[in-house]
Structure 1
Amino acid sequence: MVRSWGQQPDVSAAKGRYAVQLTGVTKQFGEGPTAVLALDTVSLGIEPGTFTAVMGPSGSGKSTFLHCAAGLDRPTSGEVRLGGQDLAALRERRLTELRRTRIGFVFQAFNLLPSLTVEQNITLPLRLAGKEADAAWFHHIMTTVGLGDCLARFPTQLSGGQQQRVAIARGLVTRPQVIFADEPTGALDPETARDILGLLRQAVTDLHQTVVMVTHDPVAAAHTDHAVFLSTGRIVDEMGAPSADRVAEVLSGLRRTA
């Protein structure tokens, strides 16, 4: 379930209930007459074990939303919580540690290190945190993403779809509280994109993960539980059990009014 509270949220009883919670989040870039308001008092709660699409026209604030929600950027004002943890209360070193252990990332560009094998790329977040991979969990992930026979290969020896599977496995390996995916199928052909979306869906349904995905693709949104629509930095619409046709209709309307 996704819940937005409009511009004046009353969330005192909700702290800790949501996997991700934004309360009155504003993000401004620059100052004075050239300032850009990328997010405008956004309030949203995303419950654990759900798959959410964040959508909107170009310049609507989707990427800024993801960066603030994932602790990659600090909002100008407002509060971001991961579970019960207020990210603004953390110093940069602690925030970096939290991103390594409690947040998983999947990007359009894969971001794999070419000099590392598949197994080394997947376990990199754990090694950076000074931890060992749990053997049973690692095997479970490999079974889920279908990479068991590729562990000794290097990224250049893999197809684009296989590289994205590696990126998803890397995002899962720490048992994160939330996985943030930024246009994860944008560089893939339609058939491979469908497979990757199926894996993210499986991560939610079978592995009980929480996935928040920024996408422009109505077909991708149809794999999710909820879609949230941004325009000029504000949440303007939401949709449960989104279909590609309904999402495309909403996006078309937002583009006309943007």
Structure 2
Amino acid sequence: MFRVRGREPVPGDPIGIDPTRAAVRLTQVTKEYGRGPAKVTALDDVSIGVAAGSFTAVMGPSGSGKSTFLHCAAGLDRPTSGTVRLGGQDLGELNETQLTRFRRTRIGFVFQAFNLLPSLTVEQNITLPLRLADAGTDHDTVHGVTAAVGLTGLLGRRPAELSGGQQQRVAIARALITRPEVIFADEPTGALDPDTAEDILALLRRAVTDLHQTVVMVTHDPAAAQHTDQVVLLASGRVVSRVDAPSVPRIKDAMARLRRTR
């Protein structure tokens, strides 16, 4: 497993990740919406790499480009210019059908709203990516993943019969089931109470530490971001700084400096 913390900078890489150890890499990525006077630049020449086996938080003020960053990095949206490579694959080389297939098997997603199908059981929701990809379902793998996220005994229930924290655990198990290159989490604790949020963040931390996954999490919450290896700060669509070995005071200080320089 490769860690971001303590790594020596690599020339030309703004956050010091060896290109051979990057699970996901954006190179000179720009994303624009609209044309002419109404054009909005959501990402502006972003170059960044995320180390394999690391937990990274992406933060910034409203309108800084956090969601656009996640959408481009995860192949949910195509950049206007620049390249996105995930696990060595240039996403720009894939057509829409190939990109959809790639996302199903190589990328995991965890969202604030859980995005579970209410008519399916817990087990069916977890294994949905495998069935959509026409991949076989290994029951030992399913039970291993569900045990790891604390869902043993709940596989036959439907989402309406679960608490919010349990539903997010289902979403995390669904993200883990294909052993993806990267798991992207968009405000995964935003709909949860503080104690449940801590449990979910600890679970994501264990996915990195114990299962050697790579997690990229968009959040506005310093308390959530302190669980990560590093915090990347965006402003006006650009990567402006990072915080290694983050703590709540260090993150708040970095955000305050960012506000003073805007």
Name the TM-score class by shorter chain. over 0.9
1:131 aligns with 2:132: no
Residue in structure 2 matching 1:173, options 171, 177, 180 = 177
Q: Once the two structures are superposed, what CA deviation does each residue of 1:161-218 show, in whole Å capped at 9, x if it has no partner?
A: 0000000000000110100000000000000000000000000000000000000000
1:189 aligns with 2:171: no
Summarize the alignment of residues 66-77 of structure 1 with structure 2, pairs less than 5 Å apart. 66-77=70-81
Does structure 2 retain, via aligned residues, the 8 Å contact 1:160–1:188? yes
Deviation for aligned residue 1:46: 0.8
Relative to structure 1, is the Cα distance of residues 224 and 9 closer, same or farther in structure 2, using a 3 angstrom cutoff? closer
Residue in structure 1 matching 2:25, options 21, 42, 47 = 21
Please tell me the residue identity of whatever aligns with 1:51.
F
**Identical counterparts, % of pairs:** 67
Q: Distance in 1 between matches of 2:137 and 2:216?
A: 24
Does structure 2 retain, via aligned residues, the 8 Å contact 1:66–1:180? yes
Corresponding residue number in structure 2 for 1:98:
102
Residue in structure 1 matching 2:218, options 214, 234, 241 = 214
Gaps in structure 2 of 5+ consecutive residues:
none
Deviates more, 1:15-24 or 1:39-48: 15-24
Q: Distance in 1 between matches of 2:127 and 2:139?
A: 11
RMSD in angstroms over aligned alpha carbons? 1.9
Corresponding residue number in structure 2 for 1:120:
124
Q: Distance in 2 between matches of 1:83 and 1:211?
A: 13
SS at match of 2:21: coil
Corresponding residue number in structure 2 for 1:164:
168
Corresponding residue number in structure 1 for 2:38:
34
1:238 aligns with 2:239: no
Please tell me the residue identity of whatever aligns with 2:149.
V
Q: Distance in 2 between matches of 1:72 and 1:225?
A: 25
Please tell me the residue identity of whatever aligns with 2:259.
R
After TM superposition, what 4+ stretches of structure 1 lie above 4 angstroms from structure 2? 1-6, 13-16
**Superposition TM-score, scaled by structure 1 size:** 0.94
Deviation for aligned residue 1:240: 1.0
Q: Once the two structures are superposed, what CA deviation does each residue of 1:26-70 show, in whole Å capped at 9, x if it has no partner?
A: 001111111111001100111110000000000000000000000
Does structure 1 retain, via aligned residues, the 8 Å contact 2:70–2:184? yes
Q: Distance in 1 between matches of 2:259 and 2:41?
A: 18
Q: Distance in 2 between matches of 1:169 and 1:22?
A: 27
Residue in structure 2 matching 1:44, options 48, 60, 81 = 48
Deviation for aligned residue 1:132: 1.8
